Chains A and B, each alone.
Chain A
């Protein structure tokens, strides 16, 4: 028997299909949106409510070795935010880095039905897939860290562009990744090999390899373009958090040469001013460039006041923070592939840089001309928990609230921004774009982020409220794959989402090139490295569009 559902009388926001608050019915059969359903179908009366596609987090850190280290690191944080079980759901712990079950359920309780883990060293991807299998309700995928990969660097040094592309495809396939991620390109070698040094200029040569970060990034952008990955390289620029890093960010965006690229958490890369001096906002320069270049998508990485955790493959950054705020600190080097740093953190209203960052993020949102390309994120948990999204939405939709909030912040920092001059208020339609339709388009997820026929039946229904934080904090209904997971604010059933991954085509002969490198420099056998399909459980391959 087909499972059917009809949501009637709701005001629908479906920007991908140009539906902007019209009262429409949404029909669901077997997990998909359809034209019509039988008359006797179960109905949800959404009168006075807002219907949107399920939201999509394009950049967060929710599963895998670094996340689990951060969980282990902070028992004191979990203790204060327990996540009790219900009749249908597992228990867990919350805090800034929740357990897997709490992560899935809490995303769902905010109307999120898809989230992408943004940084996974390939050797640990098996761990990520196991955790994602224990992350309920939502669909999920991950970006594999290849931007500091020793073997790929060797190929670039030797000028073997074709093998470089094939090897990228081999890696994405071997670990079931969604796309490639680059973090602080070139820095790992200096961090591990030159006593904790860091790359400061994207045009400087990387030790041992005679290549520059810009060259590496260009090569990835080109290879991903040719492989036709559903989402382009996801780039965490160099010099994160350093004053004056806008020049690095602009250089990186220019390296795309008109090809698609995604710039992660750009707020952290929009600092003006001079190195080692107090930063100023460079949001204007960055957003102007993005506005003018349609090949670029970005997520903001908004900072929210309160608890956060720096959790990043950018190990030198975590070290820098450790020396600002002496606290427990984790560094974790991954052979041939990555670095990692973790440090508990909190953003405080009174601190100049924290206020500046908060304001810069909002400037980027409010000066963005194309909501389809400047997307909502807090780089969870780096800028703050994903649980802050409703509050962030309110900041975007309510200028009076925003201006009131500004009064309680570090005024020296506020003066360095143009936030007071920005009266823009996001509309519900624009919110639906930056949290649903936009991320889906940037990710190449054709069946998500909209409510047209054939789309996945991932739907959220909110009671409309003036207080947008309240509204987005507690959807009345959340439907995942056509199943009403949250019914009248309560979990009605448990649900497993699926893994989203891509399988770019490649010439399998590349494996023979990679294998000897493993023998020499890896601590696991080559034949034990690639991950079997068993780890995918329920999954969906998102098609690639290779350029011939």
Chain B
């Protein structure tokens, strides 16, 4: 069990310090938090080492006084909630589950099991963030590294299509830009940092070189770089096309080929703009090509705290990372066909279980309209647009703050959580296990869903 250091209360308050706790807000999954917990107030009063986002994450999580379960807006018991949820899932012909990137791997494993049992469809928020990078990976592979390796060795760091200063504030300071490493004794002085984006952002000042690309032209620039790395010709109007001069490209190519250990970080500015998986694929291919000259890696900067864990769990259980369908009694994968935003937009599902995400706030209008028409089960720590339209709503404990379990950092490094204080709300895992039990009971014997 996680080690909890009890300190003597300085004041009358019941205060606990949790060292080396983990922040699950973003994919950085920093595990060096020192949390001061007010056990009387059930809240975290100080989060040493946390960034601005992490502090907000820790401070915001107070125990709200609200019902554990609402069915059709009416308060119900946990058992009633799990009974109703199980019945909804079993009655559906095309049940889906979605989200999963803000809960523990232990919970994710149960969610996939439920969908396997009922021949449903499982998808994670990966499909709307770095799913394209996953598809690119399936096309070309990836040369990659853990963040510590980048800290220890990378002398050329390129961020493409992201704004880590705002999305992943400690990416620069803890992993990739300023920290000193084994072969980077002087930290940032030993590295060249390049930022590629369509506009200047609050991340730009960190860069030694800023490359401004015309919006929607990332793929063309990446393709030109690949051609130049391979010593091939490129068209003369490249600057006109992309906004990046030939001199700039040549300089980048020289730096990339001659660095000791280079890294390309790719952000959602690539995966969620025109070209999507091909943009990611171009980055992966460029990094692979560069290994003919030096050592080069690439790495998507993942968003949610445990989206990488969701990719891993779904992959080891099904063989595929996201967008997996069990209708036939075995997993199938086809992004576009079995990814939630598409399934909803086409109106194909008749029940949804949404875990720790809020599609009703960020999916397309058609998708949200369909979601409003079908029975929805939600598990969330907070009120969201999606919980508001749900038939069965479970209020659950917050992972990393109230619950232990496993999360994976954006570089696939698994970390165990150290919870700060107990919650009266159940964990996602407990709710899901209750639903699993009920679903299996409803589908025993001749009712068992078999393979088609």
Q: Please list the residues of chain A having a beta carbon within 8 angstroms of any beta carbon in chain B.
A: 63, 65, 67-68, 71-76, 78-79, 82-87, 90-93, 95, 97-102, 123-124, 126-127, 130-131, 134, 150, 191-193, 195-196, 319, 327-336, 342-343, 520-525, 527-528, 531-532, 534
Given A99-B317, A126-B406, A534-B1, is A92 in contact with B330 using a C-beta cutoff of 8 Å? yes
Q: Please list the residues of chain B having a beta carbon within 8 angstroms of any beta carbon in chain A.
A: 1-3, 19-20, 22, 31-32, 105, 109, 113, 116, 134, 137-149, 151-153, 174-175, 180-183, 260-261, 288, 291, 293-295, 297, 311-313, 315-321, 326, 328-333, 406, 408, 412-416, 448, 450-451
Interchain nearest-CB distance for B247 vs A (Å)? 25
Interchain nearest-CB distance for A140 vs B (Å)? 14
In the assembled complex, 7 residue pairs joining A and B whose CB atoms fall closer than 8 Å, in A order, are: A75-B320, A99-B316, A134-B109, A193-B153, A195-B295, A331-B143, A528-B415
A196 close to B294 (CB less than 8 A): yes
Option from B116, B153, B321, B448 in Cβ contact (under 8 Å) with A192: B153
Option from A82, A327, A330 in Cβ contact (under 8 Å) with B330: A82
10 tightest Cβ-Cβ pairs between the two chains A and B: A335-B148, A84-B451, A523-B148, A93-B319, A328-B141, A333-B145, A331-B143, A78-B319, A126-B414, A82-B330
B152 close to A336 (CB less than 8 A): yes
A527 close to B317 (CB less than 8 A): no
A124 to B145 alpha-carbon distance, docked (Å): 12
B145 close to A71 (CB less than 8 A): no
B149 close to A334 (CB less than 8 A): yes
Residue of A nearest to B144 (CB): A332
Residue of B nearest to A530 (CB): B416
Option from B139, B142, B181 in Cβ contact (under 8 Å) with A330: B142
Interchain nearest-CB distance for A149 vs B (Å)? 13
B148 close to A331 (CB less than 8 A): no
A87 close to B450 (CB less than 8 A): yes
A327 to B448 alpha-carbon distance, docked (Å): 42
Contacts A78-B320, A528-B20 supplied; 9 other A-B pairs, CB < 8 Å: A78-B333, A82-B332, A90-B113, A99-B331, A126-B415, A130-B414, A335-B149, A525-B32, A532-B416
Residue of A nearest to B451 (CB): A84
B137 close to A329 (CB less than 8 A): no
Option from A73, A319, A330, A532 in Cβ contact (under 8 Å) with B1: A532
Chain B residues with CB under 8 Å of A134's CB are 109, 316-317
B146 close to A73 (CB less than 8 A): no
A75 to B337 alpha-carbon distance, docked (Å): 15
A99 close to B318 (CB less than 8 A): yes
A259 to B145 alpha-carbon distance, docked (Å): 35
Residue of B nearest to A121 (CB): B146
A63 to B317 alpha-carbon distance, docked (Å): 11
Option from B312, B328, B331 in Cβ contact (under 8 Å) with A68: B312
Chain B residues with CB under 8 Å of A342's CB are 141
Given A90-B116, A527-B19, is A329 in contact with B138 using a C-beta cutoff of 8 Å? no
Given A72-B137, A196-B291, is A330 in contact with B143 using a C-beta cutoff of 8 Å? yes
Given A78-B319, A131-B316, A521-B182, is A331 in contact with B329 using a C-beta cutoff of 8 Å? no
Residue of A nearest to B293 (CB): A195
A475 to B414 alpha-carbon distance, docked (Å): 38
B315 close to A93 (CB less than 8 A): no
B450 close to A85 (CB less than 8 A): yes
B182 close to A150 (CB less than 8 A): yes
A83 to B220 alpha-carbon distance, docked (Å): 41
A196 close to B145 (CB less than 8 A): no
B331 close to A528 (CB less than 8 A): no
Option from A93, A330, A332, A343 in Cβ contact (under 8 Å) with B320: A93
Interchain nearest-CB distance for A25 vs B (Å)? 35
A192 to B19 alpha-carbon distance, docked (Å): 33
A357 to B109 alpha-carbon distance, docked (Å): 40
Chain B residues with CB under 8 Å of A73's CB are 137-138, 141
B141 close to A333 (CB less than 8 A): no
Given A85-B450, A330-B143, A342-B141, is A335 in contact with B317 using a C-beta cutoff of 8 Å? no
A65 close to B319 (CB less than 8 A): no
B147 close to A330 (CB less than 8 A): no
Residue of A nearest to B142 (CB): A330
Residue of B nearest to A518 (CB): B148
Option from A74, A101, A521 in Cβ contact (under 8 Å) with B317: A101
Interchain nearest-CB distance for A161 vs B (Å)? 23
Residue of B nearest to A334 (CB): B146
Chain A residues with CB under 8 Å of B451's CB are 84-86, 91
Chain B residues with CB under 8 Å of A123's CB are 146, 413
Chain B residues with CB under 8 Å of A527's CB are 3, 19-20
Chain B residues with CB under 8 Å of A99's CB are 315-319, 331
A532 to B404 alpha-carbon distance, docked (Å): 12
B261 close to A192 (CB less than 8 A): yes
A71 to B134 alpha-carbon distance, docked (Å): 12
Chain B CB within 10 Å, residue with most, of A130, A334, A343: A130
Chain A CB within 10 Å, residue with most, of B22, B32, B152, B415: B152
Chain B residues with CB under 8 Å of A75's CB are 138, 319-320, 333
Chain B CB within 10 Å, residue with most, of A83, A100, A525: A525
Interchain nearest-CB distance for A65 vs B (Å)? 5
Chain A residues with CB under 8 Å of B261's CB are 192-193
A532 to B2 alpha-carbon distance, docked (Å): 8
A91 close to B22 (CB less than 8 A): no
A87 to B291 alpha-carbon distance, docked (Å): 48
Residue of A nearest to B287 (CB): A331
Interchain nearest-CB distance for B434 vs A (Å)? 19
A192 to B116 alpha-carbon distance, docked (Å): 41
Chain A residues with CB under 8 Å of B317's CB are 90, 92, 99-101, 134
A522 close to B148 (CB less than 8 A): yes
Interchain nearest-CB distance for B286 vs A (Å)? 13
Residue of A nearest to B322 (CB): A72
Chain B CB within 10 Å, residue with most, of A74, A134, A195, A528: A528
A528 to B451 alpha-carbon distance, docked (Å): 42
Interchain nearest-CB distance for B327 vs A (Å)? 11
A79 to B174 alpha-carbon distance, docked (Å): 40
Chain A residues with CB under 8 Å of B312's CB are 65, 68, 127
B146 close to A329 (CB less than 8 A): no
Given A196-B295, A329-B141, A528-B31, is A79 in contact with B414 using a C-beta cutoff of 8 Å? no
